[in-house]
Amino acid sequence: MAENKTQETGLAVIGGGPGGYAAAFHAAEMGMKVTIVDSGSKLGGVCLNRGCIPSKALLHVAKLIQESKESADWGVKFAKPKIDVDALRAWKDGIIDKLASGVEQLAKRRNVEVIQARATFADSRTVSLKYEGQAPEGAPSHLSYEQAILATGSVPAMPGLFKIDDPRVMNSTGALELETIPKTLLVIGGGYIGLELGTMYAALGSKVTVVELTEGLLPGADRDLVRPLHTRLTGLFEGIFLNAKVEKLEVRKEGIAVFMSGSGAPAEEVFDRVLVSVGRWPNSMNLGLEATRVEVDEKGFVRIDAQRKTNDPSIYAIGDVAGQPMLAHKASREAKVAVEAASGQKSTFDNTAIPAVVFTDPEVAWCGLTETEARAQKQNVKVVRFPWAASGRAVTLARTEGLTKLIFDPESERVLGVGIVGPGAGELIAEGVLAVEMAAVARDLADTIHAHPTLSETIMESAEAFFGQATHLYRPKR
């Protein structure tokens, strides 16, 4: 039992994920007295422990397996790989441990106190601390602070329809535990989480089926960027059902029976396992926020202003709990803004380009204005595309299905948005983000030398095409 003792600190950071620890470290650098309260056994939040990191490690393996099959075309033939799931799991867990202990070390070096407990707000300046199991010796029951940053993140959404209390119905956390490689897997939800995890399991040998409610995979992304991915996934997955819905799940001994409706989807089929990846919910419930002036909107996001301050002047909120997009890098940028604001500086979150990356194969990445948004907002834009079929590097990789597109303001020639699909899109997009953020114009991109032969040249050539012609792509004059 924790003693009835209140510890004091300057800045309390509730949640030790990419938003939380970035905020804590930045605040410590600025000389504040900082305490992180995190309910997990390791710092790093969902991203490090149950999200970004393990999924990327496993996707790396998936890519390797897939490529080893394709290389037969190039004169290098591999036998079917022997997959040791336990070793794979151990390797993945090893990565998590390594990175988590890295964050721990950084916290120690910066004199950031870390309390492993569940925080609940008692009032605007105090959280009560609940420990799992035996509380450590001398552990405080309360933490009082001058200011707090709420960085509690989000959890996988699990609608009531799918809560049938069977371990074979998983969310992303369960999927990443990699307990087993199911023979058949149904992925409910064709967003980035479902597609990434589906890709991973398919590469490891599962027969994967995806069912998506809307008319396309990755809703929200431009269709021309999704098309090459969809085509390739059609070869990898057993089936992709769009405009389709899961009506019911039933527990059976031989598997989970799934009842679907919609174009082409099987009315009833049994799967070894089901992955529910229909979104994420912000973690704003059961935090005691009612004891503060913090307000939460109807979707569960904490209401904040441009400085990430909530309605309570002592409390800031960042990351997934504070709004879309739910991305780790958005959280870490917000962390800096909130800390600077808390220290009295005139900081604002005013980034114009937040990249989104889908780590499937091919990767899909975009930033800034999408073509879909431009149409919806009726903005006058000029879109230029460069197909990777015309890229020398892409041909050497035997991956010519990719596409690079730039979205410009025709008047000022400014880059408003960038979209890329193809291997490495996730790294390539960085140039696009910088271009949009720096308000670069087409000339800036077109006249900058890009190394040859690289995929980055596709960005340069797209910009050149804005003016009419790109070197490696002929456009008949209209």
Partner 1 sequence: MTFEFELQELGEGIEQADVVNVLVEEGHVIQAGQNVVELETEKAVVEVPCPEGGRVVKVHVAPGDKVSVGAAILTIETEKGGAVSEKKAAPAVEEAPAPSAEPEQPPVLEEEKPKAAPPPPPRAEEPAEEPLVTEPPPAESPKRRPAPAGPATRRLARELGVDLHQVSGSGPGGRITAEDVRAFVKKSMTAAMSGLGAAAPPPLPDFSQWGPVERQPLGAIRRKTAEHMAMAWQLVPHVTQYDAADITELEAVRKRYAVSRGDAPGKVTVTVLAVKAAMAALRAYPQFNASLDAAGGQLIFKKYYHIGVAVDTEHGLFVPVLRDVDRKSVVDLAVEIEQLAERARQRKLGLEEMKGGTFTITNLGGIGGTAFSPIVNYPEVAILGISRARKEQVVRQEQVEQRIMMPVSLSYDHRVIDGADGARFLRKICEVLSDPMQLLLEA
Q: How many CB atoms lie within 10 A of CB 202?
A: 23
C-alpha to C-alpha distance for 273 and 249, rounded to whole angstroms = 11
Which is closer to partner 1, CB of 89 or CB of 382? 382
Q: How far is the CB of 286 from partner 1 (least distance, A)?
A: 36
Q: Shortest distance, CB of residue 382 to partner 1, whole angstroms?
A: 5
Cis bond before residue 81 (omega within 30° of 0): no
Say if residues 262 and 244 touch (Cβ distance below 8 Å).
yes
Q: Which amino acid is at 3?
A: E
Of 172 and 404, which CB lies nearer to partner 1 in the complex structure? 404
- Based on CB atoms, which residue is closest to partner 1, 140 or 423? 423
Q: How far is the CB of 378 from partner 1 (least distance, A)?
A: 3
Residues 397 and 395: their CA atoms lie apart, in Å, by: 5
List the catalytic residue out of 26, 230, 329, 452: 452
Instruction: Give whichever of 315 and 445 is closer to partner 1, judged by the CB atom.
Output: 445
CB 381, min distance to partner 1, A: 6
β-partners of residue 116 are 38
Radius of gyration of the chain (CA): 24
Residue 418, beta-bridge partner list = 367, 406
Q: Phi-psi region for residue 344, left (φ > 0), alpha (ψ -120 to 50) or beta?
A: left
User: Residue 117 half-sphere exposure, CB side, CA atoms within 13 Å?
Assistant: 26
Residue (83 or 389) nearer to partner 1, CB: 389
Give the residues lining the site for partner 1 (CB under 8 A).
223-224, 227, 346-348, 350-352, 374-375, 377-385, 387, 389-390, 403, 409-410, 412-414, 416, 437-441, 443-444, 465, 473, 475-476
E strands, 65-162, in order: 113-116, 118-123, 126-130, 142-150, 154-156
- Catalytic-residue membership of 472: no
Q: Which of 161, 473 has the CB closer to partner 1?
A: 473
Round to whole Å and give the CA distance between 192 and 359. 8
Residue 313, token pair as written in the block: 């002047």
Q: Give the catalytic positions in this structure.
A: 452
